[in-house]
Amino acid sequence: MGEKEISNGERMIQTNVPYRIEMKLLSPLAGVFFRKCRHGKKGDEEEPGREMDDRELADHEEAIRKAVDKVNSPEIEGGNPFDLMEECFDGSPSIQEKVEHGVISVENVEGVLYGCTTLLLKEALEAWELEEMCEYISMQYSDGWGEVFEQRDIPADGGIIRVYFDPVRDPDFQIQSKVIKNPNLENQKNDISDSGKSAVLKTEEQNPQMKKPRPILSLTRCGRHIFSVLSGAMQILIKTGQREEADEMYDRVSKVQGYEESLAIICEYVEIEPDSAREKETQGEQKKKPEQGRER
């Protein structure tokens, strides 16, 4: 799904898709400040605590972030940090194939501190897969990772703070997505044989004006979300031997905003085939219009 084999004429090499989709799922945080007892022992705090909103928590971002990193740190020296996908996810196989990593952190957005789970995707999730993933993250915030984190005393001036990733059950996640390059693949760009390189150079020298035709990309197959369209276009360009064009297209799309502008750039590199189902639906509607006119 996210990997494919490419033959260089001598051996088969395994290569990953040269991009990933980074998806951030943001949700509200809540906190409680406990003031230290003046005459109590060290570690004693006054009850009850004072509730803190997400803007006030932003003032303590550095301390909260350190506490998150501490919970995520490996339990044993040399181990791997906590990863939602590697630790305990036993959901749908398609999600396990698409989601490489899931890391919990905090994110400051315009002075508001949010809980944040960052997913690294090989390809875009279907709507039902995203819903299942959000349910899993909510469960981790309330009963798994979050249950451990909320017991940590985060130092603050005059007392301690306890932070909760699950102030509401099943939160409406704010979703931010962007396509990023896969740094693990940068060194594989030159992993082709010398004979293959010389063959390409010879062909270009013989046909300096030759322009490669645009491969066809079906919207039925890749969907209409711009990240799905971009990932599908990159896959088909690489499959047809146009890795440089794929990288160039990615760089251009990453510098613009808006669906239409991004799609216009993608169309310079691939020929987009309309969604067949939608096209049939449109044609059916057009056929019905004259019939309705005759009935009148």
Determine the pLDDT at residue 198.
42
Tokens 């669906």, located at residue: 259
The one-digit pLDDT tens for each residue of the chain (296 residues) are 444 333 333 322 233 456 788 899 999 999 999 988 665 555 555 667 899 988 999 999 999 999 999 999 887 766 678 898 886 788 999 999 999 999 999 999 999 999 999 999 988 888 899 999 999 999 999 888 999 999 999 999 989 999 999 877 667 899 888 888 765 544 433 333 333 344 334 444 444 444 567 888 876 655 557 777 887 788 788 888 888 888 888 888 878 877 788 888 988 999 887 655 444 444 554 444 444 444 44
CB 21 within 8 A of CB 124: yes
Determine the pLDDT at residue 44.
56
Give the CA distances from residue 214 to residues 19, 183, 233, 254, in Å, rounded to whole numbers and listed in that order: 20, 27, 10, 21
Residue 50: phi and psi, rounded to 5, are -105, 130
Q: What angle do CA 115, 74, 186 make, to 5 degrees?
A: 80
CB 234 within 8 A of CB 217: no
